[in-house]
Structure formats: C-alpha cells, structure tokens
Amino acid sequence: MSEARDHVFKIQNAALWAGMGVLSLALYVAVPRSAWHDSLLPLASRLGLAGIELVLLAVLCMILALGLSWYTVHYGDWKPVWQRLAGGIVLGFGWLFLLAYLASWAALHSTGRFLDSVTVLLFGANAVQMIQHAAQMDPVLLIALPVLAFALAAGVTVALPRLAMKASPKTARIASVSALFAVAGCAVLAGAGSRYTVTQMYKGAFGQTGPLTSLGQDLATQISFRSDPVWSAQIVPLEQRPAVAMEEYLNGVEPAYRRNIVVVVVESLRNDQLQATGGEREVMGVVDSIARFSRVFTRNYTQSSHSDYADLAIFSSHYPLRSPRYHMYPKNPTYPRVLVYDVLKGLGYRTGVFSSQNESWSGMINYLDTGNIDRLLHADTYDGPTYVPRNDQFFYRWVKGSKRAGKIDDRFTVGEAIEWIDGLGDQPFFAYVNLQSSHVPYEIPADFPVKYGTGRVSFPLQFAYFPPDSVAAVKDLYANSLAYVDAQIARLVAHLQETGRWENTIFVVTGDTGQAFFEHGFAGHANALYDEVMRVPLVIRSPGLEPGVDVRLSQHVDVPPSLLHLIGVPPHPAFQGRNLFTESTGEQRFAYLLAQAAAHQYAIVDARYKLIYDATRRRYLLYDLNEDPGEIRDISAEREDIVGSLAARLHAWRRAQLGFYSDVRLHGDWYPPVLPESL
C-alpha cells in the first residue's frame, strides 16, 4: 500500500468505525426490542453482545475503508467526467449500504427481527406490500430513513475523503492506534460478557443485537442445518397414500346432502374474543349467536402463526411444512394439492373465493388457484378502491390503483359474495370469505360506532409493535375491528336467511391465526407458537348437526374431511386431517404447528402438553397446558421423559414432511404421508 493511501486508509478506517460504532450503540439502546432491553440478560452479557457487533463492524469498516482509500487517492487522476461518474457510484453504494443498515434496525423495531435471509426473501417477493405496510404504519420513518442514509453517505463519501487528505501523518497514526485499542477493548468485552449468552436460554439474544450479529447467526444456522434433530429422527412407518385421479375418487360418489358451504376466515381472531370459546366480553355478538346453534371446538389450533401458511391448510388439509426454511408458493408446483373446493367442483358445486387481502402475498394465489374456482376476488383483481387507512400519507393512496397493495374493505368483499350467490339460482355452492379488517392497524370506517374505548391511540401501530404499556387501548381497537367484521358476517347470514338458503347451508367461522399482546414479549402474529397466536375458534353450523361444545383437540387440517362428512362424501385420500364428527375412540391425538417467519419454531400438542422446538436457539420448551394455560413455566428440565417422547414424534413428523416435499419423484404418484397416532 502506498504511503499516501496508507495515510488515508488509517483516517477513513478509524472515522468509519467510530461513526458506525456510535450509530450502532445509539440504536442498540434506543430501539426497545434490542437485546439491551432484555431484562433476562445480565448487564455483562448485554455489554458483551454490543462488543460482538462492534468487532464485526470494525472488520466491515476496514474492508470498506480499503476501497474508499483507493478511490480517494486516485480520484484526482481521472478526467472530470470519470470523477463525476465514480463519485456517483461511490455515493450510491454508500447510500444503499447505510439504508440497508438503518432499515434492518427499523425492521427490528417493527417486527422484532433484523433483516436476514427470510426477510430479504419476503421483501423480494412482496416489496410493494411491505412498503405499503411501512407507509401505513409509520410514514415519517419511511421518509426519514432514506434521507438520513443519504446524509450519512454524503458525509462518508464526500466530506470524509477531503478531511482524510488534509490530515497530518501524526493525526493518522493517532487515529489508527486509537481504533486498534478500541477494537481490542471491544473484543475483550465481547469475550468476557457474551459467555453468558452462549447458553441455550440466551442464545437467541444474538439475533437481537445488531444487523451484523444477526446475519452471522443466520449464516451459522444455514451452515449447521444438518445438525438439526430432524435429520436424526427415528424412521417410522408412514401411511403413504397413492395419488388418484379426481374422476377415480368420485366414481360412484354421490353426496347424501347437496348443502351449500360457506367458510369465513377472520384475520387474527383469538380464542378469547368469542364468548363461545372463553371470551369475557361480547365482541362478536352475531358469531356468538351462531355458535349457540353450532358445534364449537374450543381447543382448535391453526397450523401456523403466519397467514400465508395458515390460510391454505384450512382448505388443503395439508400441513404447510414444505421446506426447511421459508416456503414461497411456486407457479405450477410439482407437489400435489387437492383443495376441498376441487372435490366439490367435481360434485357439481359452483365455487367462489372472496378475499379482502391480496392473495399474491408469498405466491398464495399460485396454490389457491387450482383451476376449479368460478369466481376469484381479492385485492389484486378488485375493480373498486382498495382499503385506505385514515392515517395514510402518500404511498398507500398512490399504490392502491396498481392492485398490488391494500385490502378491500370487508363490506365490499361481503357485498361481492352476496351478489355472486344471488346469481347462482338453486345450484349448490362453496364460498370462501376472508375478512381482513381485524388486521393491524385495526382500521374501521369513521361512521362505524365504536364499541370499546375511544377508537383511537396517539401512536402509530406497527405490525408487531406498539408501546407495551398501551395493551388495553390497543385491545379495544382490536375488539372494535372484530365488531366491524361481525357486522359484515351478519349481513351475509341475513341474506342467506332472506333468500331461503340458510337452512341448507353449512356455515363455518374460524380465524387464520390469533394475535399476541405481549403475553410472551411480542405483539402481532407470525411469531412464536404460543397459544395466544395458535388457538383460534372453530364454529361449524350445519343442518341436522347437534349443537354443543367439543373440547377435544382439533386443528385446521381437520376442516376439509369434516366438511365432506357433513354432505355424506368420504374424505379425499390426499387429506392429512381427520373427520371431527366421528365418534371418539379415546385414541391420542396430536396437533403439529410451525412458524418460519419472525420465529423459526415447530411444536406438537397433545391432550395435555405442548412442546416447542426453537430451531434458531436449538432448545425445547415444554408446557403443561392443564396446569399452566398461560404457558408461563417451562418444565422441560423437569420432565425430560415427556420432552423425549414428544420430540421423537415431532421430528419424525418433520422428517416425513420434508422428505416428501424434497423428493420430486414422489410428487406425481403419492400424497404427503400421514404419521400414525401411535409410534
């Protein structure tokens, strides 16, 4: 390295690391979801984690300073046109780097997770929708981040090179030695303090420290994937069913009852929001009144904590575990998919999907649209205006016309469903209605009466964060949004009654996921597999079905075979769920749950226990749901026998699922395997 370049490198390296270090520490302390605010971590551990991030920053800044010093020294040798071009490139690179760094901290603040392989994958496939959510929830931040990143980039790529060239050799030496000692101090701090953090209990704190530490943990997870217990799970006999043509399955099958079927899926519907499933106040009075004449499953689980997995299991009866990491639905998938409306279409039903959300998210539309839907409505195909929250400033209003973002107001979605049903005459029909007003930020029309609280809060509601001391106020907003959804369900039911269809209609209400309000340190959903997110109501009203409460374990994959039972049709061999209306034999049942978004977890639930396996932390959590329904006390250390038996089954299930979906040769001839209830 030339003397001039060495001189410039020392100044720029020290200045870069000092500036990024101060910025990182400030964000570490300021962002409420960072490891600094984890009260379970000792102070020494929190300081040690900061040291790790600063050491990683030092390495990165040294690499950046090498390139920047070469650019600074040679800048004067180029012609003006090349100087301007090179300056623009360097400024642009600096801006993108700093924007990504700041955006990663913003992601932690909003979702509890830094940018990593999963969030980058999500953003790449759903960029418009994700920016739309950011604009809706915190428009000031959306403007401030690129402006701040540009200002910092200009300082690094324009002002810093000029200062470096003017600095004396003595200043360069002092800066270099000071930086060296500072990095050494951070390394000592990291080594001394982070020894607490390598335990199973605190391992996840690495992912809450800084963007670089989080990326390092993400990379380590990818590299060590083969050490996951799924690969050492015992090989068990599986029920492997051969694929059959729809014509072959339906040969000789005639429904005993040609009943209409309506399945209403309510966004983020917790179990405790219906009085029929344990709620203390009347939030959805119409649904509760329907529940009095229905079979109510009070211990029902959704299959996943995020909607793109959870929604589809309700109709496919397939567990959504198809990949070791986050799965995007491809066009024309090789793996089999038989949705309940595919069967009904073959039986002469008309079929319709009416969704207030954009089903393009994560490619869900590729899975839903099997070619057997007569009417498909969602935010991407709706001719009217998509939903615009009152607090939106610019982006949402601009992008709604593109049909790539926004949601349909639920009253319009229900209106479209009613209009379609009216045009069917006496033909039997299946309708899937997805209602979204209960999604964050719980926006309802200004003319809808507020049932609880004031109907407003003084802070922006982000997808997975709001001030924890404001839970009561946010829960009131949430309840009001569910009351609005309830009013739209009332319109649909009233129309079915007025047109004489109600008495011949199977009517189902359930939630795609629940919603957390900091019961376990986080808000929203798409996160850890606790019951506030995973337990959702399942209300099934059918002509001739005796009403009552069923406390047995059920899950969303059970819905399709149960619906076919209610019209007298045998379950399709593709289904992995079970008919909920068969007589109980006392056989043990298990529910299998997963999350591959803000958390990477798998869980199994039986009649009493829930075992959660956290794939990031490589640890187990065991809860006795009878004694501890709030899942407060982890008893995994005390009941290693229960952990062992449930873990063996959980990883056998994971191995069976992943093994099937990873082997394309199986997809044309077989359906996903079913794990026997007894191993």
Distances in whole angstroms, Cα of residue 174 to Cα of each of 11, 55, 58, 64, 160: 9, 19, 17, 20, 17
Q: What is the pLDDT of residues 252-307, one digit of tens each?
A: 999 999 999 999 999 999 999 999 999 999 999 999 999 999 999 999 999 999 99
- Taking the complete model, does pTM exceed 0.85, yes or no? yes
Q: pLDDT of 502-541, one tens digit each?
A: 999 999 999 999 999 999 989 999 999 999 999 999 999 9
pLDDT at 384: 75
- Give the pLDDT band (50/70/90) at residue 397: very low
The owner of tokens 């009152």 is 390
For 318-330, what is each residue's pLDDT tens digit? 999 999 989 999 9
- The torsion defined by the Cα of 150, 152, 158 and 159, in degrees rounded to 10, comes to 150
The continuous run of DSSP H or E covering 653 comes out as helix 640-662
Mean pLDDT of 11-27: 90
Element (H, E) at 169: helix 169-193
In the chain, what percentage of residues exceed pLDDT 90? 59
Cα–Cα distance for residue pair 65/69, rounded to 1 Å: 6
Q: What is the largest CA-CA distance in the chain?
A: 92
Peptide bond into 672 cis (omega under 30): no
Kindly tell me if the per-residue pLDDT of 394 is higher than 60: no
Residue 594 bridge partners (DSSP): 304, 602
Cβ atoms of 677 and 587 within 8 Å: the answer is yes
Q: What distance in Å separates the CA atoms of residue 501 and residue 309, rounded to the nearest whole number? A: 32
What is the rounded CA–CA span in Å between residue 476 and residue 391? 18
pLDDT of the residue at 13 = 85
pLDDT at 579 > cutoff 60: yes
User: Token match 């978004």: residue?
Assistant: 597
| pLDDT score of 226 | 65
Q: Using one digit for the tens of pLDDT, what is the confidence trace for 364-378?
A: 999 999 999 999 999
3-state secondary structure of 261: strand
Number of C-beta neighbours around residue 503 at 10 A: 9
Q: Which of 122-136, 284-298, 609-623 shows the lowest per-residue confidence on average (mean pLDDT)?
A: 122-136
From 337, 340, 339, 369, select the one nearest 355 (Cα to Cα).
369
Across 202-229, average pLDDT: 76
d(CA 331, CA 200): 39
| Helix boundaries (H) for 31-79 | 43-74
Pairing of strands 260-266, 505-511: parallel
Asked if 151 and 414 count as a contact pair (C-beta separation under 8 A), the reply is: no
Burial 4-41 (b: 16+ CB within 10 A, else e): eeebbbbbbbbbbbebbbebbeebbeebebbbbebeeb
pLDDT top residue among 177 and 424:
424
The stretches of 194-284 forming alpha helices (DSSP H) are 211-223, 246-250
User: Any idea what DSSP says for residue 232?
Assistant: G
Q: What is the CA radius of gyration of the chain?
A: 28
pLDDT number for residue 198: 58
Give the residue from 67, 42, 52, 65 showing the smallest Cα distance to 21: 52
- Report CA torsion sign: 466, 471, 476, 482: positive
Q: Per-residue confidence at 136, pLDDT binned at 50, 70, 90?
A: low
Average pLDDT over residues 155-170: 83
Q: Taking 80 as the threshold, does the pLDDT of residue 361 lie above it?
A: yes
Strand ranges (E), 625-676: none
The number of residues making up the chain comes to 679
Confidence of residue 29 (pLDDT cuts 50, 70, 90): very high
For CA atoms 528, 661, 230, 123, give the dihedral sign: negative
**From the centroid of its chain, how far is CA 546?**
36
- 129 vs 645 pLDDT, higher one: 645
678 has pLDDT over 80? no
Residue 595 has φ and ψ, to the nearest 5°, of -140, 130
Angle between helices 169-193 and 3-30 (to 10 degrees): 40
pLDDT confidence bin for 401, thresholds 50/70/90: very low
Give Cα separations from 22 to 11, 29, 114, 189, 311 (angstroms).
16, 11, 19, 16, 44
**548-559 mean pLDDT:** 97
pLDDT (mean) for 547-571: 97
Mean pLDDT (the chain, rounded):
88
* pLDDT of 391: 45
Confirm if 406 and 396 have CB atoms less than 8 A apart.
Answer: yes
Of residues 9 and 338, the one with the higher pLDDT is 338
Confidence of residue 399 (pLDDT cuts 50, 70, 90): very low
> Cα dihedral angle (677, 609, 307, 471), rounded to 10 degrees?
170
Amino acid 617: pLDDT: 81
pLDDT band at 28, cuts 50/70/90?
Answer: very high
Q: DSSP string covering 398-446, please?
A: HHGGGTSS----HHHHHHHHHHHHHTTTT--EEEEEEE-TTSTT----T
- Model pLDDT, residue 131: 67
Residue 638 pLDDT > 70: yes
Q: Per-residue pLDDT averaged across 226-250, rounded?
A: 87
The mean pLDDT value for 344-353 works out to 98
pLDDT of residue 245: 96
- Residue 135, pLDDT above cutoff 90: no
3-state SS, residue 609: strand
Q: What is the 3-state secondary structure (H, E, C) of 181-205?
A: HHHHHHHHHHHHHHHHCCCCCCHHH
Give the tens place of pLDDT for each residue, 402-417: 444 468 999 999 999 9
User: Is the link from the previous residue into 449 a cis peptide, with omega within 30 of 0?
Assistant: no
The H-assigned helical ranges of 327-363 are 340-346
Task: Name the band, by pLDDT with cuts 50, 70 and 90, for residue 203.
Answer: low
pLDDT tops 60 at residue 201: no
> What tens digit of pLDDT does each residue of 47-69 get?
888 888 999 999 999 999 888 88
Examine the pLDDT at 94 and tell me if it is beyond 70: yes
